[in-house]
Amino acid sequence: MFYHSLKIAFRTLWRHKFVAGINLFGLALGMAACLLILQYTSFEWSYDRFHVNSNQIYRLLLEKNPAEGLTEKSAKTEPELGTALKASFPEIKEVTRATPWIGGVVSTVGTNGPQQAFNESNLLFVDAAFLRLFSFPLIKGSAAALDEPNTVIITEQTAKKYFGEQNPLGKTLTLDNHNQGHHFKVTVRGICRDVPANSHLKFKFLVSRHVTGQEGGPHTWAGYTYVLIAPKTNVNALETQLHRFMQKYPGNQTGNQGNKQILSLQPLTSIHLYSNLADEVPGSGNGKTIWFLTVIAGFILLIAYVNYINLATAQATERAKEVGIRKVLGSQRSHLIRQFFLESFLLNLLSAAFALALVQVGWPWFSQVVGIPSSFSLEHPYLFGGAFLGILTVGALLSGLYPALVLSAYQPVQVLKGKLGQLKQGITLRQSLVVFQFVASVSLMTGTFTVYRQLQYMRSKDLGIDITQTLIIAAPQARRETLEQELAFYQKSSIFKTEISRYPGISGVTLTSNVPGIAIDWAPRYFSNANAPNSAAVNRPTMAVGPEFIDQFNLTVIAGDKISSEKAKQMTAREVAPIMLNEAAVRACGFASPEKAIGQTLFMRNGSGKNFKNEVVGVLRDFHQRSLKEAYTPLIFLISEDASSITHYALKVNSSDLSHTIAQIENTYRSLFPDSPFEHFFLDEFFNQQYQTDQQFGYIFGLFTGLAIFVACLGLFGLCLFTITQRTKEIGVRKVLGASVANIVSLLSRDFLKLVLVANVLAWPLAYWGMQTWLQNYSFRIPISAWLFVVPTLLVLGLALLTVSFQAIKAAIANPVEALRNE
């Protein structure tokens, strides 16, 4: 019986191969698009779930209220807090801290080959509990080594990068960052597997927190604190206890007097997508974006299934006689329903096979576009496979349900007498489904326009700073331990700056401790009064820059004046450092206006309690230090020619013969700093890398919006074909009575275009809500203007008209005699 039904199903699909082809192709495209999007969203949701105890690991968050109305929620906590919590709460089974290094030069010591040196930033200072808490498997060595002083565990790729085929165990690395006073020598005691791409913590080096080479050291620095909670712990109740604990915790570690502080727990698996905090780990995703994409996947799949239902109900007239004859010959309604469900399932199965083939072919390209490793595989592929089969089965049942019930309900007497008419009962459903398809399509197209307009706005908006044709070179960070070494470096740096300034391809050189696009980690404590207590401190991001920085980057001075090299030297001789503020810093420091800030004194206190006097000499117009997602950063500029605190040389270069210019610079650099790595990048390209995630989202959104509209138009094409087939005789009669081609095309097109127009009107509020929600992620964003709705409306109407007109014109120019001969 099943074989007989299957044979009939294949014959039916072959007999109606054009319609079956439209359904097959549309469903396959919808399924393939849905699968690709779900692969991407699954990757984003999979972050940190590979850890064995991922559901029991939490990160400590500290909310500070340093002033009335000011709240700062930080991902970092003081170093001793975790240990104190473990001692106080039995629910906390394990604690570890991960302190990121600000970056510097890592180099080999005493290896057989040439010395290797690279600028590195993916380095964490940790203890052995880190590898007990997290599932980063070791290949060689023991996690216990991290409790020993001056030890390091490196990843596989790092081992090859620094030591090649040599055995890294027992080898020595140096970590240098002169600006921070870091000079650590560490011994390699282990190798771990490379960090998975779906880990929010990225590292190449795990260094013991107990290293020698600087007073204090990493064990005293604030960092990320993670805790392992006992199973079945009531996390909300534990957080309440943590609040009470913080009220009694000694103020000399985390509680400055007068500061209200609240401690909370953040699930490990939510950090990547749902964390926008101060001191956050770089590279976080966006949960809202992932949900948007998931909705798109659902819409595309729904549009494809709507096509199937529309075409199946439109086919009802053609299959009515088949149903009538089969009923006369004894078929029960249940037999017919099973037959139609079998056809639906067969078509879905063939579409699924085609979709999987499309995914297999498109995955390498798609993974490259969205930044997923092509080797990525789901942690539980059988669950994904089961979900896919479930969607396939449910889709086949639901898409086949209405056609099966409608077609099997025909009365054989009416059908065989030709009294079925035009099947009015399916018209309302088909019209509603067409409206739904185009509501989704217009909403997605409006969203695509918004995404691309926002990206264009961010990339083209005046940043308030000129970063074009700017070449950045990383400055040497080797530790200078004596005054002679410091003087020698200063002389070499001056020579380097003087030498490269003479090259015809370079029009300016300046020094800086930071560049736009990089978060400023140096945030000293500032006071308005030299005798102010520590509790009155305000941490402000600070950049040390050369006097040429203001002109070279074309910054606008709105109060006071720029400061020359001579003026800077004079003020330094008086033990007063000249500083400039931006407008955001003026407000943050409490000055009434930029003009009122000029001449004011701010004291900067270092870790030893020594005060440094700074005088405000000028105020700069705000510029974007980071991406336009973020508000203006309050910045303090320390004007100095002292090369000891710089991290970068910023060069203005001409666009002609860049390769020759860079080669000249490299030769000069290597001759003066032979032990330091030469690394460079162009600032505008580097700055725009901040928008990589947004660009990926734009690519995905645009690509699958196009697919959704194509699938919708494909269904509209098939539906139009059936409508014209049903009205063949009417078209013939109208042509005989004198109707023109234009009249016929207008007659056949306007009903469909009315539905598309209604869909556009319904889509506008939905699209507006989606746009508003997405744009809330950006501090600087485009206004929502009317053209964002009008252009998609016109485009969709044009596409629909083109789709319908193709079949309408073909029918209108056909010979009316042939139409009137039609039975």
Task: Give pLDDT, residue 513.
Answer: 87
Could you tell me the two tokens for 452?
């691309």
**pLDDT average per 10 residues of sequence, the chain (823 residues):** 60 67 81 85 89 93 63 80 87 92 84 80 92 93 91 94 90 85 89 92 93 72 90 88 78 47 89 83 81 83 79 64 64 68 79 87 83 68 69 72 65 56 58 80 86 88 90 83 78 89 89 87 75 62 88 91 74 77 88 89 75 88 89 88 78 86 92 88 89 82 83 75 70 76 76 82 88 86 87 83 74 64 54
Give first-to-last CA distance, the chain, whole Å. Answer: 34
Measure the CA dihedral 339/345/349/351, to 10°: 100
Please classify residue 459 by burial: count the beta carbons closer than 10 Å to its beta carbon, then call 0-12 exposed, 13-18 middle and 19+ buried: middle
Q: Which amino acid is at 323?
A: V
H runs (alpha helix) in 371-380: none
Task: Give pLDDT, residue 240.
Answer: 86
554: left (phi over 0), alpha (psi -120 to 50) or beta: left
8 Å CB contact between 816 and 731: yes
Reduced to 3 states (helix: H, G, I; strand: E, B; else coil), residue 462 is coil
C-alpha to C-alpha distance for 350 and 332, rounded to whole angstroms: 27
8 Å CB contact between 718 and 307: yes
C-alpha to C-alpha distance for 713 and 716, rounded to whole angstroms: 5
421: left (phi over 0), alpha (psi -120 to 50) or beta: left
* pTM of the predicted protein model: 0.79
Task: Give pLDDT, residue 403.
Answer: 64
Taken in order 649, 650, 654, 656, the sign of the CA dihedral is positive
Beta bridge partners of 472: 650, 681
